[in-house]
């Protein structure tokens, strides 16, 4: 599913209306919505576009293939516009979950986390909903050992391998194999909603594995994973690279190249500085915060604290 000209026009109206609320314009001065049409009607198209992009990402078992960027940008940006324009009667939990997934797959992990943190526990959530929320909320110190439903065993196995990958770098192939298995199960026995959630789980899991520090820092820094292990396992050390941090790695900054880096607010500057410091084994100091460079500690103080690994 792809947005056509009229869909993009309605999307533009929703975005403009959101900006008018942001700048405090009186509602009588807001942009007019064409009679008989509502930008909120684009929700079906947005969800369909997101589902198609998630399926294609999961099928490739790779980073987002070429050509998905525009589709994912449309989905993520529409959720932005829908929320800010106040055109939806209410913003329910499934919509927040989909928005969080769209932001993550489109390369906006910060926005994704903001949305995911809005989702509290609910006894009405399905096992698929629970695991997708867990993947998006970013706390993988615990994994699931028991989930109800026909997909429960595969979801538990997937959550375990995923959690251990972010602890010790293991399980990359297992996560991808279990993603394939889960998609096969939901396509065979699931409803339309379950197929969508299954595709999103697989796409989010694969995207996060591909952006993990275990998957990237050894190559970008030219240092073996064993030399990174103590740092990665420290509380608070980045567990995955944001898009701006990936670009620094691709430019050779983590392997000794010099450069002038300019990033917007909340793009990952502080974490990037920390990674750069750890990638220089001879540096005596590691800054805790980029804005407080004199608050530092010895590079040898890198004892990892093991997570509890208890079942959620």
Closest CA to 149 of 127, 166, 170, 169: 127
Q: How far is residue 281's CA from residue 166's CA, in Å, rounded to a whole number?
A: 22
- 10-residue mean pLDDT profile of the chain (312 residues): values are 64 76 82 72 83 88 52 79 72 88 92 91 93 96 94 97 96 94 96 96 95 95 91 90 92 87 80 84 46 36 38 46
| Domain ranges across the chain | 5-120, 213-298
> What residue has token string 């390369």?
107
**Burial grade of 139 (CB within 10 A; 0-12, 13-18, 19 or more):** exposed
Long-range contacts for 252-259 (Cβ within 8 Å, ≥24 apart)? 252/220, 254/217, 254/220, 254/221, 254/279, 255/220, 255/221, 255/222, 255/279, 256/280
User: Global pTM?
Assistant: 0.80
Q: How far is residue 161's CA from residue 164's CA, in Å, rounded to a whole number?
A: 5
Strand partners, 289: 292
DSSP state of 39: G
Which distant-in-sequence residues (6+ apart) come within 8 Å of 201 by Cβ?
128, 131, 132, 135, 155, 158, 179, 182
Q: How far is residue 111's CA from residue 113's CA, in Å, rounded to a whole number?
A: 5
Helices (H), 169-268: 172-189, 192-210, 213-221, 225-232, 243-250
116: left (phi over 0), alpha (psi -120 to 50) or beta: alpha
**Tokens standing for residue 54:** 């998630």
């Amino acid at each position: 599913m792809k947005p056509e000209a009229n869909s993009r026009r309605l999307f533009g109206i929703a975005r403009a209306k959101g900006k008018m609320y942001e700048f405090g314009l009186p509602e009588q001065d807001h942009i007019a919505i064409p009679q008989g049409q509502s930008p909120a009607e684009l929700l079906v198209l947005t969800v369909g576009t997101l589902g198609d992009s998630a399926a294609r990402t999961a099928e490739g078992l790779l980073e987002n293939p070429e050509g998905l960027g525009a589709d994912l940008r449309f989905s993520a940006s529409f959720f932005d516009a829908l929320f800010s324009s106040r055109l939806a009667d209410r913003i329910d939990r499934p919509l927040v979950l989909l928005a969080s997934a769209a932001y993550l797959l489109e390369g906006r992990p910060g926005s994704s986390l903001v949305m995911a943190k809005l989702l509290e526990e609910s006894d009405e959530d399905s096992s698929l909903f629970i695991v997708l929320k867990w993947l998006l909320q970013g706390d993988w110190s615990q994994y699931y050992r028991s989930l109800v439903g026909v997909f429960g065993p595969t979801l538990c196995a997937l959550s375990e391998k995923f959690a251990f990958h972010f602890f010790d770098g293991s399980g990359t192939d297992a996560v991808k194999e279990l993603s394939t298995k889960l998609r096969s199960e939901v396509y065979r026995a699931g409803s339309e909603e379950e197929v969508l959630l299954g595709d999103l789980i697989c796409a989010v899991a694969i995207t996060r594995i591909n952006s993990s520090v275990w998957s990237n820092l050894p190559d970008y820094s030219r240092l073996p994973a064993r030399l990174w292990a103590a740092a990665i396992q420290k509380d608070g050390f980045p567990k995955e690279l944001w898009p701006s941090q990936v670009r620094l790695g691709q430019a050779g900054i983590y392997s000794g190249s010099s450069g002038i880096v300019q990033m917007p607010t909340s793009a990952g500057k502080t974490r990037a500085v920390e990674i750069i410091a750890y990638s220089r084994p001879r540096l005596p100091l590691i800054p805790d915060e980029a804005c407080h460079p004199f608050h530092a500690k010895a590079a040898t103080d890198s004892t990892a604290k093991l997570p509890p690994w208890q079942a959620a």
